[in-house]
């Protein structure tokens, strides 16, 4: 990569005003830069930050992977990624090319020390050329099994901490963070041998979505919701993370993970802790994460008996989606899946939080593949009115729903009188849409979180004790699943999961929402 005298990032004119704060000058190193995550998410997110003037005036990006590639080839790959995956409102030919000039590439094996010495030399070269003050962000976008290797090699190469003590060095670690409690604890031990805990950013991209963050604003920034946010007014909470897609090309990963590891341990428990947490003393990383972990520690541990009664797992078979009569392949027929696989593609659970605020209020959570709609939603179902004044009217309960994806927004349902002389009531909904209210394309959760990391804000990232607390809850479930082989498949593609999941709520005289 040739040295450029002017500021590379400054040449990318902001396409639109952004509320994201700019970061310090730094070099971003993407491990696994030739992979799908880098191509589809990270490079477009970094381009979006540059286009919105949210990167520093001076920055550099280094891709590191096993695949041999020149700087020019990596730059062209980045341009192609931006054109295909970036927000259309920010992408144009000139900006893409200017952004690409900030990119360099280092090829090497993750177990070769000489590859990390080469990386070190390239970092020092770019630091001098662009006056980046020695600030470095390492992003692990590789398969999880090489995380320990990369961390140890960074330590051996002297890259885990900057020798001058003034510059910052941070590392972003993608999920899955371990595959059970023991492996997560082992990875934490490896990490803290090389990095201090404040340097470590364990990322969950769900937490970068505007609606997830707005959940905290909704509760703690308004006076009308928090007084109702407790067992006196809330009947139950439903959290749904549904996908219409099947396993696609991820069979090799998914066969060793399943829905419990892939979604429940991370995304779903993160959302649960945000819904249920107490008001933090301040909106900073320490206070928010302290309150979140209190919730994880308050969730009633699962026993063998409660796993049988309160958890349902499923695996999709052949079926069709609404509006599409073509037959969809069952999970066991997907490429790379074992013909007798017992990997779950669906999990529903009844979660109890044993604290003063939520005692007796069940949290029903579910996640699955090949469901009718792609939607992630948090639904707060309020209690019925204590006295039914309008007899004969079939009134549903009031619901506050936060739609996290695909259409970010908030809606609240209540009852209103229909026009006319008779007292007839109807449930109506008030909707808030991010797209309609604020305009612009969908904000990249990765862009938000990468920017937070570069600014040193760990509020939306997981801490070591939080990861271990989540695995401690999930571990008994995984052990039970391993010990008891189910009869799969037990739900058809295009349906809302196995019938047992409906019974999970019906026995409590409740029903799943159909988002």
Interval 153-179: pLDDT, tens: 999 999 998 777 789 999 999 988 999
Q: Do 228 and 358 lie in a common domain?
A: yes
Would you call the peptide bond into 406 cis, given omega within 30 degrees of 0 as the criterion? yes
Q: So what's the pLDDT on residue 175?
A: 87
Q: Do 131 and 161 lie in a common domain?
A: yes
Average pLDDT over residues 431-439: 84
Helix (H, G, I), strand (E, B) or coil at 376: strand
Last-in-domain residue among 170, 203, 236: 203
| Residue 164 located in a structural domain | yes
Categorize the per-residue pLDDT at 97 as very low, low, confident or very high, splitting at 50, 70 and 90: confident
Q: Do 122 and 217 lie in a common domain?
A: no
Q: Do 199 and 221 lie in a common domain?
A: no
Out of 313-322, 407-416, 434-443, least confident range: 434-443
Average pLDDT over residues 501-507: 96
Q: Do 174 and 262 lie in a common domain?
A: no
Q: So what's the pLDDT on residue 394?
A: 67
Q: Is the pLDDT of residue 296 over 60?
A: yes
Q: Do 197 and 222 lie in a common domain?
A: no
Q: Do 140 and 237 lie in a common domain?
A: no
| Residue 3 located in a structural domain | no
Structural domain for 465, as ranges? 209-506
| Residue 1 located in a structural domain | no
Question: What digits encode the pLDDT tens for the residues 344-376?
Answer: 999 999 999 999 999 999 999 999 999 999 999
| Residue 247 located in a structural domain | yes
- In 3D space, the residue among 8, 16, 101 whose CA is nearest the CA of residue 56 turns out to be 8
| 371, 373, 266, 487: CA torsion to nearest 10 | -10
CA triple 88-94-99, angle to 5 deg: 85
| Chain-centroid distance, C-alpha 222 | 25
DSSP per-residue codes, 149-213: HHHHHHHHTT-SS-TTSSS-EEEEEPSP--SSHHHHHHHHHHHHHHS-GGGEEE--GGGGSHHHH
Q: Is the pLDDT of residue 51 over 60?
A: yes
Q: Do 193 and 220 lie in a common domain?
A: no
Categorize the per-residue pLDDT at 443 as very low, low, confident or very high, splitting at 50, 70 and 90: low
Q: So what's the pLDDT on residue 126?
A: 94
Q: How far is it, in rounded angstroms, from Cα 277 to Cα 292? A: 6
More confident residue, 115 or 385: 115
Would you call the peptide bond into 393 cis, given omega within 30 degrees of 0 as the criterion? no
Last-in-domain residue among 203, 237, 264: 203
Q: So what's the pLDDT on residue 206?
A: 86
Helix (H, G, I), strand (E, B) or coil at 46: helix
Average pLDDT over residues 193-217: 90
Q: Is the pLDDT of residue 7 over 50?
A: no
Q: Do 199 and 225 lie in a common domain?
A: no
Q: How far is it, in rounded angstroms, from Cα 313 to Cα 486? A: 9
Q: Are strands 234-242 and 375-382 parallel, antiparallel or unpaired?
A: antiparallel
Residue 387 among the catalytic residues = no
Looking at every residue in the chain, the average pLDDT score rounds to 89
DSSP per-residue codes, 460-471: TSB-HHHHHHHH
State percent of the chain over pLDDT 90.
68
Q: How far is it, in rounded angstroms, from Cα 265 to Cα 259? A: 9
Average pLDDT over residues 423-445: 80
Structure tokens at 301: 């541990």
| Residue 515 located in a structural domain | no
| Residue 511 located in a structural domain | no
CA triple 503-298-185, angle to 5 deg: 105
Q: What is the CATH number of the domain that holds 341?
A: 3.30.360.10
Question: What digits encode the pLDDT tens for the residues 368-381?
Answer: 999 999 999 999 99
Q: So what's the pLDDT on residue 147?
A: 96
Structure tokens at 208: 């970068």
Categorize the per-residue pLDDT at 275 as very low, low, confident or very high, splitting at 50, 70 and 90: very high
Q: Do 375 and 487 lie in a common domain?
A: yes
| Residue 514 located in a structural domain | no
* Structural domain count, the chain: 2
| Residue 512 located in a structural domain | no
Categorize the per-residue pLDDT at 8 as very low, low, confident or very high, splitting at 50, 70 and 90: very low
In sequence order, which ranges of 346-442 are alpha helices (DSSP H)?
A: 434-438
Question: What digits encode the pLDDT tens for the residues 13-29?
Answer: 334 444 555 678 999 99
Question: What digits encode the pLDDT tens for the residues 383-424?
Answer: 987 767 766 666 778 999 999 888 888 999 888 888 887 888
Q: Is the pLDDT of residue 301 over 90?
A: yes
Q: So what's the pLDDT on residue 146?
A: 94
Last-in-domain residue among 149, 174, 203: 203
Q: So what's the pLDDT on residue 322?
A: 72
Q: How far is it, in rounded angstroms, from Cα 39 to Cα 43? A: 6
Q: Do 242 and 386 lie in a common domain?
A: yes
Q: So what's the pLDDT on residue 3?
A: 39
Q: So what's the pLDDT on residue 4?
A: 37
Would you call the peptide bond into 195 cis, given omega within 30 degrees of 0 as the criterion? no
Average pLDDT over residues 232-256: 92
- In 3D space, the residue among 502, 512, 226, 276 whose CA is nearest the CA of residue 377 turns out to be 512
Categorize the per-residue pLDDT at 55 as very low, low, confident or very high, splitting at 50, 70 and 90: confident
Q: Do 290 and 427 lie in a common domain?
A: yes
Of 101, 111, 267, 387, the catalytic one is: 267
Question: What digits encode the pLDDT tens for the residues 222-233?
Answer: 999 999 999 999
Question: What digits encode the pLDDT tens for the residues 452-473?
Answer: 999 999 999 999 999 999 999 9
Average pLDDT over residues 59-69: 94
Angle between helix 210-220 and helix 269-276 axes, rounded to 10 deg: 20
Q: What is the CATH number of the domain that holds 14?
A: 3.40.50.720
Structure tokens at 158: 């002297």
Average pLDDT over residues 129-151: 93
Q: Is the pLDDT of residue 137 over 80?
A: yes
């Amino acid at each position: 990569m040739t040295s450029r005298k002017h500021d590379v990032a400054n040449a990318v004119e902001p396409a639109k005003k952004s509320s994201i704060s700019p970061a310090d000058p730094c070099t971003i190193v993407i491990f696994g830069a030739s992979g799908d995550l880098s191509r589809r998410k990270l490079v477009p997110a970094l381009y979006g930050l540059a286009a919105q003037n949210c990167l520093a005036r001076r920055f550099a990006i280094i891709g590191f992977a096993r695949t041999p590639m020149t700087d020019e080839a990596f730059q062209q790959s980045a341009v192609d990624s931006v054109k295909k995956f970036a927000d259309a409102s920010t992408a144009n030919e000139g900006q893409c090319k200017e952004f690409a000039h900030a990119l360099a590439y280092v090829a090497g094996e993750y177990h070769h020390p000489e590859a990390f010495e080469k990386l070190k030399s390239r970092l020092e070269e770019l630091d001098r050329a662009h006056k980046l003050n020695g600030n470095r962000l390492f992003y692990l976008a590789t398969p999880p099994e090489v995380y320990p290797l990369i961390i140890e090699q960074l330590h051996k190469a002297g890259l885990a901490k900057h020798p001058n003590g003034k510059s910052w060095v941070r590392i972003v670690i993608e999920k899955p963070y371990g595959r059970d409690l023991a492996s997560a604890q082992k990875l934490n031990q490896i990490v803290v041998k090389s990095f201090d805990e404040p340097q470590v950013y364990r990322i969950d991209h769900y937490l970068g979505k505007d609606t997830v963050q707005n959940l905290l604003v909704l509760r703690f920034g308004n006076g009308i919701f928090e007084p109702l946010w407790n067992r006196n007014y809330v009947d139950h909470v439903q959290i749904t993370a549904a996908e219409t897609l099947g396993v696609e090309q991820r069979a090799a990963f998914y066969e060793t993970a399943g829905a419990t590891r892939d979604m429940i341990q991370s995304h779903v428990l993160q959302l649960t802790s945000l819904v249920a947490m107490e008001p933090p003393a301040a909106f900073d990383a320490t206070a928010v994460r302290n309150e979140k972990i209190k919730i994880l520690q308050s969730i009633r541990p699962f026993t063998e008996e409660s796993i049988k009664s309160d958890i349902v797992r499923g695996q999709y078979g052949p079926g069709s989606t609404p509006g599409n009569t073509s037959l969809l392949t069952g999970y066991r027929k997907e490429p790379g899946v074992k013909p007798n696989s017992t990997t779950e593609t669906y999990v529903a659970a009844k979660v109890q939080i044993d604290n003063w605020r939520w005692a007796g209020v069940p949290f029903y959570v579910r996640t699955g593949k090949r469901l009718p709609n792609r939607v992630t939603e948090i639904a707060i179902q309020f209690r019925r009115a204590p006295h039914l004044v309008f007899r004969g009217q079939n009134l549903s309960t009031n619901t506050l729903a936060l739609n996290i994806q695909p259409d970010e927004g908030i809606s609240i349902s209540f009852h209103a009188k229909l026009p006319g002389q008779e007292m007839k009531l109807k449930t109506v909904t008030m909707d808030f849409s991010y797209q309609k209210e604020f305009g612009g394309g969908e904000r990249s959760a990765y862009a938000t979180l990468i920017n937070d990391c570069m600014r040193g804000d760990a509020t939306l990232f997981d801490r070591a004790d939080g990861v271990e607390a989540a695995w401690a809850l999930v571990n008994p479930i995984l052990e039970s699943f391993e010990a008891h082989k189910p009869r799969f498949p037990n739900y058809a593609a295009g349906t809302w999961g196995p019938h047992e999941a409906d019974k999970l709520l019906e026995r409590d005289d409740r029903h799943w929402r159909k988002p």
